[in-house]
């Protein structure tokens, strides 16, 4: 993989000639909505030169992978046109990707709430765990699914599924009261755990992922005790446990989002900890990077002091925001995909800039009513900078929020740096 930043006067055809790469390959890798419109400052992925071979009688993807010295996972990911990896036919053309056999394997988790089958099928090769979001609990410990997926429990591409448990309200938003009931009322907690086990017995789950947010500070130790009980029970049944934690900078950080999340206790108890290292730039806040690298680094500096690094999954956002300027308290930014952000820049003729401290791209533009906007999002450069932290801090891997929309660039960057561990 190579990375090119568009300059004034560039066209997709000139760039393709420069790298001796087919135009269609660049369009596909970058999901270009209008290839004739490029924005100055836009980061483009230039796919690696690949070799291709024709399937012979008796070939399997496994035998081809061994013959060419690449992992089966990378070979499957490089051939999305193969509908069933267990069945290939003589005469088919198979793409052989660059060798990634010497790269480190990492754990990759992805949350998803509502995705098409095509998006999931393109995403699953790059995931260790899929965490459908979510089963929400009520005040009595009953569990109700809130995601809308057809292929959630298919086990496709050897991706393991985690049962995600939340204290969400039916109308949306996290409920401190629901968390309090589960954590402190023995009858409610017993019912909650029985309901979890009932879901697990239906099959298709590898473990549970607990995302309790806005927990009362006075419920901190109750939360720790609950996790110890849950983990003992899950391990006895052969399941793993993960938790999601707010991005704290210190043990004593105050605020309803932070105070009950005991990093050290979670790190001692569960198998994996997802650090939600995003939402510095958020819907109701001022314009800034969603996951500025300097802030993510501060969270990791603290987290790796109290949680084993090999248990930590660093959160990575798969979206951006469009804010109207000047920021007014109570106003809301518009969420948009990374692909939509780049398309918007091209439509309004905005040059994309890159903030070195945040290691994130952004641009400004004026709408039809003369209002100025500021857009922050993720691109190949920002993702590469984030993934470098995984190696620097020796983390277990990463966790995406969320994978409802396909951002192909993300996975091309990921597989250029790591192999994805598969537990199935």
What DSSP string runs through 379-410? -HHHHHHHHHHHHHHT-SEEEEE--SS--HHH
> In the prediction, which pLDDT does 65 show?
82
Q: Label the pairing between strands 240-245 and 207-211.
A: parallel
Phi-psi sector, 203: left (phi>0), alpha (psi -120 to 50), beta: left
> In the prediction, which pLDDT does 35 show?
96
Kindly report the pTM of this predicted structure: 0.89
Find, among 54, 71, 67, the residue nearest to 157 by Cα: 71
CATH 3.20.20.80 fits 105-420, yes or no: yes
A 10 A CB-CB count for 48 gives: 15
In this structure, are residues 386 and 39 in contact, taking their beta carbons and an 8 Å threshold?
no
Residues of the chain short of pLDDT 50, as ranges, are: none
Q: Tell me how far apart the alpha carbons of residues 273 and 310 are, in angstroms, rounded to a whole number.
A: 10
Please give the CATH superfamily to which domain 2-96 belongs: LysM domain (3.10.350.10)
At 322 the three-state DSSP class reads strand
> In the prediction, which pLDDT does 62 show?
86
In this structure, are residues 395 and 327 in contact, taking their beta carbons and an 8 Å threshold?
no
pLDDT tens digits, one per residue of 17-72: 998 889 999 999 999 999 999 999 999 999 876 677 889 888 998 888 877 767 78
Q: Tell me how far apart the alpha carbons of residues 175 and 210 are, in angstroms, rounded to a whole number.
A: 14
At 245 the three-state DSSP class reads strand
**Alpha-helix residue ranges (DSSP H) falling in 31-150:** 61-68, 72-77, 117-123
Number of residues assigned to the chain: 424
> In the prediction, which pLDDT does 190 show?
98
- Convert 11-23 into a string of H (helix), E (strand) and C (coil): CHHHHHHHCCCCH
Q: Tell me how far apart the alpha carbons of residues 260 and 262 are, in angstroms, rounded to a whole number.
A: 6
Find, among 367, 344, 402, the residue nearest to 127 by Cα: 402
> In the prediction, which pLDDT does 153 show?
57
Q: Label the pairing between strands 312-317 and 93-96.
A: unpaired
Domain positions in the chain? 2-96, 105-420
Q: Is-catalytic flag, 213?
A: yes
> In the prediction, which pLDDT does 74 show?
79
> In the prediction, which pLDDT does 155 show?
59
Annotated active-site residue in 170, 194, 197, 213: 213
Q: Tell me how far apart the alpha carbons of residues 424 and 422 are, in angstroms, rounded to a whole number.
A: 6
């Amino acid at each position: 993989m190579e990375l090119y930043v568009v300059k004034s006067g560039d066209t997709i055809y000139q760039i393709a000639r420069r790298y001796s790469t087919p135009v269609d390959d660049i369009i596909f890798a970058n999901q270009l909505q209008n290839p004739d419109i490029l924005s100055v400052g836009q980061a483009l992925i230039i796919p690696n030169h690949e070799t291709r071979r024709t399937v012979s009688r008796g070939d399997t993807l496994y035998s081809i992978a061994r013959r060419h010295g690449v992992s089966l996972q990378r070979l499957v990911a490089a051939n999305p046109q193969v509908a069933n990896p267990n069945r290939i036919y003589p005469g088919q053309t198979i793409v052989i990707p660059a060798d990634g056999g010497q790269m480190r394997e990492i754990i990759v988790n992805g949350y998803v709430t509502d995705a098409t089958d095509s998006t999931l099928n393109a995403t699953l090769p790059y995931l260790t765990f899929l965490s459908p979001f979510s089963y929400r609990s009520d005040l009595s410990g009953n569990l109700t699914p809130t995601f809308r997926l057809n292929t959630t429990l298919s086990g496709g591409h050897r991706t393991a599924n985690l049962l995600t448990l939340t204290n969400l309200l039916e109308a949306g938003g996290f409920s401190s009261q629901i968390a309090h009931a589960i954590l402190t009322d023995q009858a409610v907690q017993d019912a909650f755990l029985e309901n979890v086990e009932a879901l697990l017995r239906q099959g298709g789950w590898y473990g549970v992922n607990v995302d309790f947010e806005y927990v009362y500070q006075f419920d901190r130790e109750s939360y720790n005790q609950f996790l110890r009980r849950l983990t003992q029970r899950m391990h006895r049944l052969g399941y793993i446990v993960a938790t999601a934690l707010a991005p704290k900078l210190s043990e004593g950080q105050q605020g309803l989002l932070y105070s009950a999340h005991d990093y050290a206790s979670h790190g001692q108890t569960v198998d994996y900890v997802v650090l939600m290292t995003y939402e510095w730039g958020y819907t109701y806040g001022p314009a800034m990077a969603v996951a500025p690298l300097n802030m993510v680094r501060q969270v990791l500096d603290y987290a790796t002091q109290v949680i084993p690094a090999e248990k930590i999954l660093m959160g990575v956002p798969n979206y951006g925001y469009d804010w109207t300027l000047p920021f007014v308290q109570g106003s809301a930014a518009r969420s948009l995909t990374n692909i939509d952000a780049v398309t918007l820049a091209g439509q309004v003729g905005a040059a994309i800039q890159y903030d070195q401290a945040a290691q994130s791209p952004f641009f400004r533009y004026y709408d039809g009513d003369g209002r100025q906007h500021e857009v922050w999002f993720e691109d190949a450069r920002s993702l590469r900078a984030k993934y470098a932290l995984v190696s620097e801090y020796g983390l277990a891997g990463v966790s995406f929020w969320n994978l409802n929309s396909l951002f192909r660039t993300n996975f091309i960057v990921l597989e250029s740096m790591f192999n994805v561990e598969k537990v199935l």
